[in-house]
Amino acid sequence: MRKGLISAVRGQFSAAQQRTLEAMVKTHYRTHVSDERLGVFWMEFEPDQMFTNYAPSQSSIITLECANEFPQDKRVAMLTACHNDWCAETGQHPDHLMLALLEEDLFRAFLASNRERLSGIGACQFYGAAIARALGARLNRGIFAFSANR
Amino acid sequence: MPVYTLACTQPLPVTVRKAVADKITDVHCDVTGAPPEFVNVLFLHGQRTRHGERLAVIGNVRSGGNRNQELTDSLQAAIHEGVAQAADFPATEVSVRLIGFPASWSMEGGEILPEPGDEDAWLNRSS
């Protein structure tokens, strides 16, 4: 399973919007990237914990994994399709959406960097809380979502 | 891009979070010449860090273009000093790690991000 992480401000989108956006990302992933299953996780920040350009942020950051040596033309097609449909669904300003399609070696390093800055107990607490909250959100909202705070 | 995430052991007051975010934006733009529109700073509260730091920073930054090792090292040192100063923590209680991302793997504003140093055309694309 490939993985994807969407970072956004909590409450910025309705649960229905989040389900629609996630389904859209997965559809474009199948079309442009791979038939492999894509697991999407939402990391939600409180409004005053996310800043862009010196101000509280309304940005969304989408980071997805793909195979190593992935063709750039397909990457551009995937990111463009997601960008267009995301902005159409949310009304978000295009400058407030960042997307990245990272090859698996870098994506692993990206995920590992967070784990490596935490202590053993800290990592267990972070991922334990994230999994519990993600499962709860899956039941209540139909998406895997967790708070950026422990 | 860049996206700086800060794992904090204790929640920082909002005024301190703003000061730290502003400092990171200032330093990143001063050292790299990148525009502030690119700079994202995210805080994760209540994290237990590996070496007991009060703030553990990870910066996901564009690599390539005009960014050589010397510039990357300067950026890491300046972010370290700036964050410690803005948070009023000893530098020993702050850690910073930078991870380089190819610009062409990311999109912002509907366009693939420019190589570091080539931002002018990207910024003027809609004017």
The residue among A61, A66, A59, A60 whose CA lies nearest residue A101 is A66
Per-residue pLDDT of chain A (150 residues; tens, 9 = 90+): 999 999 999 999 999 999 999 999 999 999 999 999 999 999 999 999 999 999 999 899 999 999 999 999 999 999 999 999 999 999 999 999 999 999 999 999 999 998 899 889 888 888 888 898 889 888 888 899 988 887
Nearest CA in chain A to B1: A98
CB B79, CB B58: distance < 8 Å: no
Nearest CA in chain B to A106: B101
Q: Pick the residue of B26, B96, B106 with the most A CBs within 10 A to test the interface with A by mutation.
A: B106
CB B57, CB B83: distance < 8 Å: yes
Nearest-neighbour CA in chain A from B6: distance (Å) = 10
Q: Do A150 and B46 touch (CB under 8 A)?
A: yes
Q: Where does A14-143 show beta strands of DSSP type E? A: 38-45, 50-52, 55-56, 60-66, 97-103
Q: Do B45 and A49 touch (CB under 8 A)?
A: yes
Residues in chain B where the model's pLDDT stays below 70: 126-127
**pLDDT score, position A143:** 92
**pLDDT score, position B66:** 80
**pLDDT score, position B127:** 46
Domains, chain B, ordered by start: 3-123 (3.30.429.10)
Neighbours of B112 (CB within 10 A): 19
